[in-house]
């Protein structure tokens, strides 16, 4: 790729630039931009979907429907529950606003906890992770996979959560230690999980996550909408115009930070 001495800019259609951060790109002066933010809206919607399905035990209805059984039971509601958003980028910020519409209390964790975020009732710093987790009925991970976040949800983190709480990941796999997550689900340290992002993708057919009755799995599909693709095109067109005019580009990736 970098045999061309005139190459100055590369754009990745993905919101997460992970695949583009190979050694040659990291070592080069080429500017890398991404489509970050293009899937924020559907990912926030997908988070609400998974929270509602887990909270109401929707798989129980699906099983009853498949068996032609009329199965009525008392289930939960999101109203009044506490949502913790781990990572307050585009999708996390949009989720906070949507969760407020469901009358939820919203907590957020970000590196810069001194900057208020619309829809977030209280912000926590990374060094307050366990305190943050102990408050939540739902923990939704919207953060990128970086050196700082990989494996941060370990045994101690899942132990810090309420036994009645749910863990949802819509951004990137690997932020949870899979062995710790599997044990937390099997031994009911937490109530369940909604997994759109997996540590290994595609999730292998023999993965034990498939068979757990307290897990809902979607195949990294939360942002697969026509509007997501269109927003990605619009970001590229905006940057193409800026590049031609010699103006600063938007969505420039910090190669060191990884996003």
Active site residues: 172, 201, 220
Query: E strands, the chain, where?
Result: 9-11, 31-33, 82-86, 105-109, 122-124, 138-141, 166-169, 192-195, 215-217
CB 79 within 8 A of CB 103: yes
CA distances (Å), 125 to each of 122, 130, 156, in order? 10, 10, 17
CB contact set of 251 (below 8 Å; sequence gap of 6+): 33, 34, 35, 36, 37, 235, 239
The answer to whether 214 and 231 have CB atoms below 8 angstroms apart is no
Say how far apart CA 128 and CA 34 lie, in whole Å: 30
Residues 6+ apart with CB under 8 A from 234: none
């Amino acid at each position: 790729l970098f045999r061309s001495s005139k190459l100055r800019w590369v754009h990745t259609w993905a919101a997460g630039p992970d695949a583009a951060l190979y050694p040659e790109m990291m070592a080069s002066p080429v500017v890398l931009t991404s489509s970050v933010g293009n899937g924020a809206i559907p990912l926030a919607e997908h988070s609400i979907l998974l929270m509602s399905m887990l909270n109401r035990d929707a798989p129980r209805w699906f099983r009853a429907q498949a068996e032609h059984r009329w199965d009525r039971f008392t289930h939960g509601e999101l109203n009044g529950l506490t949502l913790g958003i781990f990572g307050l980028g585009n999708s996390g910020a949009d989720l906070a606003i949507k969760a407020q519409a469901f009358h939820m209390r919203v907590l957020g964790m970000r590196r810069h906890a001194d900057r208020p975020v619309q829809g977030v009732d209280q912000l926590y710093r990374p060094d307050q992770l366990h305190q943050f987790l102990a408050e939540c009925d739902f923990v939704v991970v919207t953060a990128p996979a970086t050196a700082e976040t990989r494996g941060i949800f370990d045994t101690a983190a899942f132990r810090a959560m309420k036994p009645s709480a749910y863990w949802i990941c819509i951004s990137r796999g690997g932020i949870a230690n899979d062995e710790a997550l599997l044990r937390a689900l099997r031994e009911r340290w937490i109530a369940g999980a909604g997994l759109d992002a997996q540590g290994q993708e595609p999730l292998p057919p023999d993965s034990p996550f498939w068979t757990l009755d307290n897990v809902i799995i979607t195949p990294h599909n939360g942002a697969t909408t026509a509007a997501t693709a269109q927003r990605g095109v619009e970001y590229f067109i905006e940057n193409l115009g800026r590049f031609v005019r010699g103006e600063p580009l938007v969505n420039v990736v910090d190669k060191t930070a990884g996003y």
